[in-house]
Amino acid sequence: MVLYAAAVNPAQPAAFGFIVSKAVGNAVIRNRVKRRLRELAAASLRDKQYSQGLAVVVRALPAAADADFDALEHDYRKALKTAVIKLTAKSVAPARVAPEEKG
């Protein structure tokens, strides 16, 4: 998954968006991936650290179709944490977190 994050007005609640293309799978698979990502975003909102001043877009890659919830959760939390760290380091440009190269 690729996660984009941008700092917005700190008084505004966090906003999450999801991109799950047809490359991920058929409609049933895409909707399952979106439901899982929405649940992870809801958990992030319940965590007070990410509930204000953040705009996040999550783009699911085709590998998300075969990933179980725990694997998606691990990737999502790691990407969100990295994006927030990058935003706090330099709060001018949006942060983009791409998947790690495996080789």
Q: Does some domain include residue 102?
A: no
Give the global pTM.
0.80
In a domain, 77, yes or no: yes
Res 98: pLDDT: 65
CATH number for 81: 3.30.230.10
Asked whether residue 103 is domain-assigned, the answer is no
How many distinct structural domains can be found in the chain? 1
Beta bridge partners of 5: 56, 95
Tens-digit pLDDT profile for the chain (103 aa)? 999 999 888 888 889 999 999 999 999 999 999 999 999 999 988 887 787 889 999 999 999 999 999 999 999 999 999 988 888 886 555 566 666 655 4
Q: Identity (one letter) of the amino acid at 50?
A: Y
**Which pLDDT belongs to residue 89?**
81
Q: Which domain holds residue 38?
A: 2-97
Phi, psi of 28 (to 5 degrees): -65, -45
Beta bridge partners of 15: 55
Strands (E), 1-103: 2-7, 15-20, 54-60, 95-97
